[in-house]
Amino acid sequence: MKTYTYTEKKDTRSGFGAGLAELGRTNPNVVALCADLIGSLKMDEFIKENPERFFQIGIAEANMMGIAAGLTIGGKIPFTGTFANFSTGRVYDQIRQSIAYSDKNVKICASHAGLTLGEDGATHQILEDIGLMKMLPGMTVINTCDYNQTKAATIAIAEYEGPVYLRFGRPSVPIFTPADQKFEIGKAVQLTEGADVTIVATGHLVWEALEASKALYEKGITAEVINIHTIKPLDAKAIIDSVTKTGCIVTAEEHNILGGLGESVARVLATNKPAPQEFVGTKDTFGESGTPAQLMDKYGLNAEAIIKACETVIKRK
C-alpha cells in the first residue's frame, strides 16, 4: 500500500497567503479585499507588494462582497478574505444576488472553517458553509487539505472564470501533497488503492483518512482514499469507479453531515451506483470552545472515527 509521510506541518491559510502573493506577482488583474483580518488570512505579503491592489473594507462583509462584485466590472479578479462564517452565512444574500446570480468572477476565500478554529467557539466555527455555497447555482466549492494544495488551488482559481468558494483553515496540518502539483478544479485525487472500502475525504480530514487507511491495512483491510478537494463540481466518475471496485464508502469532512460532501456523494451513488455509506462529520450540532485536537476528538472527526465507520460500512455490504 502506498503510504504518505510528512516532514513539515503548516496551516492551510498560509498556503492561501503564499498563493495570493504569487498571483500578485504574476497576474496584474488580481486584487484582494479584507474585512479587518489581514493577519488571520495571511494576506500581508500581497499587500506589501501590491498596496494599490488591496482594499481594506473594515468590519463590513456585506459591503465587501458587493465591492468585489463591482470590481469585476472593469476586469479585476477580486479575492475576498475573512473567516468562513463571515464569508458565507453572514453575507448569503449578497453572494447570491450580486455574485452568483450576477455571475461575477469573485473568489471568496474563507479561513478558519470548521471546528479547528478552536477556542473562539461556535459563533465562529461554521459547519454549514459548504452546504450554503454548494446550493448556489454556478458556484464552485473547494476545500483543500494542506499547505501545498491550498497554494496551488489559490493560483488555479484565478485562471478559472466564475465565482469560487475556497475553504481552508487555521491549524497546522501535515504537508503531504507535492509542492509542484497541478491543481485541477473538479478532479479528484486518488491517494491509495484498495479493494475493501472507499474513503472520500476533504480538507483537514484527508490526512486523517490516510492515517485510518494505514491502521486498516494492518487489520487486513485495504482502503481506497480519495481526496475530494472540489465538492462542486463533484468528480462523480472517480467516486462511482472506486465504489464499483470496493462496494462501500465512507465520507469524511469537517462539516455538518447535513448539506456537506457526504450528501453530495450520496446523491451521486443513489442515482448511479447505490452502495452502503457512512458519514464522518458533525451530527447536526454547533461546536464549542476547546483546542482543535480536543474538538476533533470530541466530535468524531479523526482517523479513529474513520476506522470505525469503515468497519461498520464493510459489514453492511
Partner 1 sequence: MANTKELQDLTTQVRRDILRMVHKVNSGHPGGSLGCAEFLVALYNEIMDRKDGFDMDGLNEDLFFLSNGHISPVFYSVLAHAGYFPVEELNTFRLIDSRLQGHPTTHEGLPGVRIASGSLGQGMSVALGAAQAKKLNGDKSLVYTLHGDGELQEGQNWEAIMYASAKKVDNLICTIDLNGQQIDGSTDTVLPMGSIEAKFVAFDWEVITIEKGNDIDAILKGMAEAKALTGKGKPVCVLLKTVMGNGVDFMMYTHAWHGKAPSDEQLENALAQNPATLGDY
List contacts with partner 1 (CB under 8 A): 31, 52-53, 55, 57-58, 60, 62-76, 78, 93-94, 96-98, 101-104
The nearest distance, CB 72 to partner 1, in angstroms, is 8
Task: Rank residues 104 and 232 by Cβ distance to partner 1 and give the closer one.
Answer: 104
Q: Give the gyration radius of the chain's Cα atoms.
A: 19
Task: Rank residues 75 and 220 by Cβ distance to partner 1 and give the closer one.
Answer: 75
CA 145/CA 227 separation, integer angstroms: 8
Q: Are 73 and 29 in contact (CB under 8 A)?
A: no
Task: Rank residues 54 and 299 by Cβ distance to partner 1 and give the closer one.
Answer: 54
Task: Rank residues 54 and 147 by Cβ distance to partner 1 and give the closer one.
Answer: 54
The nearest distance, CB 49 to partner 1, in angstroms, is 16
The nearest distance, CB 36 to partner 1, in angstroms, is 12
Can you state the angle between helices 12-26 and 147-159, rounded to 10 degrees?
40
Helices of type H across 5-128: 12-26, 38-41, 44-49, 61-72, 84-87, 92-94
Among residues 182, 200, 183, the alpha carbon closest in space to that of 191 is found at 200
Catalytic residue among 61, 253, 254, 278: 61
The nearest distance, CB 32 to partner 1, in angstroms, is 12
AA letter at 293: A
Q: Is 128 among the catalytic positions?
A: no
User: Omega of the bond prior to 233 within 30 degrees of 0, cis?
Assistant: yes
Residues assigned a catalytic role: 61
